[in-house]
Amino acid sequence: MLFAGIIIGWWILVTAFPIPEYILPSPGAVIAASFGKDIPWLMHALVTTTEIIGGFLIAVVVGVLLGTLIAWSPTLERALIPFLVFVNTLPKVAVAPLFLLWFGYGIIPNTMIAALIGFFPIVINTAVGLSQTSQDMIDLGRIFGATDWRMFRKIRIPEALPYILSALKVSVSTCVIGAIVAEFIASQRGLGYVIINAQTTLNTPTAFAALLWISVIGLIAYGAVSVLGRWLAPWAEGDRTAGTTL
């Protein structure tokens, strides 16, 4: 309903006012550009999607690992958190030209930038989730003689899952942003590349069309993470009172 309302309002705005197309194209012009033959949309979308998925997977592995280390050891927590906050607050638009210098251009450096933007929510939520295990469950584990590792696997991780899954949903969206930012800095393909090229000739319908495809990819990615979460941990997805620190 909200989407429909926005599109109707947009259509009324461009119809009622003499807004040049290069400032704000009509919804019709954007849809036409989205399916136009001038741009090999599938090829560009595949490149960007690869960067997003690759960045997300790296973010998940690195984020969960670091979050676990932080939850495991207060010493590591004190050592890592300031550094991670520092890295997270670096403006990635400023860092990306350095990636070009260090790693060159293409899918791999773009994937790394996507991961750099996406890992932080996972680290924090993993650490918090692992630290929030209920004392009753810990006591129960100890009564039954569970080792630290067994308690970690059987109690802490399941209790932390609502937090981790929330972070995954945020992270996948930020990985989309990261991939596009990277393509803005240096690229020969991808939806970010299409946007930059379109802007140079003020071809705003095509730029909007690329944004539309980016949003579709983002929605699918978010939905996929939600579905995966329900499949992996149905109890976690069902508990709406649990965890997010974001």
Partner 1 sequence: MHRNALMKLIAGAFAAVIGSPVYAQTPVKFALNYQVNEAHIAYWVALEKGYYKAKGLDVEIEYSKGSGDAIAKADTGRVDVALADAMAVVPALARGAKIKIIGMVMDKSPLNIFVWDDSPIKAPKDLEGKTLAAPPGDAQRVLFKAFAETVGVDSNKVSWLNVDPAAKVPALVGKRVDGVGTYYTDLPMFEKGMGKGKVRSMRWSDFNFDPYSISIVANDKTIQAKPEMLKAFLEASYMGWRDALANMEEGLTIFKKQVPELDLPVARAAMPMVFDLLQSKRYEEHGIGWIDREKICRTVDLVNTNMELPRKPTCEEVYTSALLPVVKPTTAH
Which lies closer to partner 1 via its Cβ, residue 106 or residue 158? 106
Contacts to partner 1 from residues 7-36, by CB under 8 A: 20-23
The answer to the question of residue 177 lying near partner 1 (CB under 8 A) is no
Which lies closer to partner 1 via its Cβ, residue 118 or residue 192? 192
Range in contact with partner 1 (rule: CB under 8 A) among 48-56, 74-82, 97-105, 110-118: 97-105
The answer to the question of residue 184 lying near partner 1 (CB under 8 A) is yes
Tokens found for residue 92:
């990635």
For residue 58, what are the contacts with CB-CB under 8 A and spacing of at least 6?
Answer: 111, 112, 115, 119
Tokens found for residue 167:
């972070």
Among 50, 88, 132, 199, binds partner 1 (CB under 8 A): 199
Tokens found for residue 79:
């050592």
Contacts to partner 1 from residues 35-54, by CB under 8 A: 38
Which lies closer to partner 1 via its Cβ, residue 104 or residue 223? 104
- Taking the complex as a whole, how short is the minimal distance between the CB of residue 139 and partner 1, in angstroms? 56
Return the SS3 of 246: coil
Range in contact with partner 1 (rule: CB under 8 A) among 101-109, 118-126, 165-173, 238-246: 101-109
Q: 46 burial class (0-12, 13-18, 19+ CB within 10 angstroms)?
A: middle
Return the SS3 of 138: helix
| Cα 235 from chain centre | 23
Among 101, 135, 231, 240, binds partner 1 (CB under 8 A): 101
Which lies closer to partner 1 via its Cβ, residue 202 or residue 216? 202
Which lies closer to partner 1 via its Cβ, residue 56 or residue 193? 193
**Cβ atoms 70, 123 nearer than 8 A:** yes
Tokens found for residue 13:
């705005």
Distance between CA 110 and CA 100 in Å, rounded? 9
The answer to the question of residue 132 lying near partner 1 (CB under 8 A) is no
- Taking the complex as a whole, how short is the minimal distance between the CB of residue 89 and partner 1, in angstroms? 19
DSSP string spanning 25-45? Answer: --HHHHHHHHT-SSS-HHHHH
Q: Which residues bind partner 1 (CB under 8 A)?
A: 20-23, 38, 94, 96-98, 100-102, 104-105, 183-188, 193, 196-197, 199-204
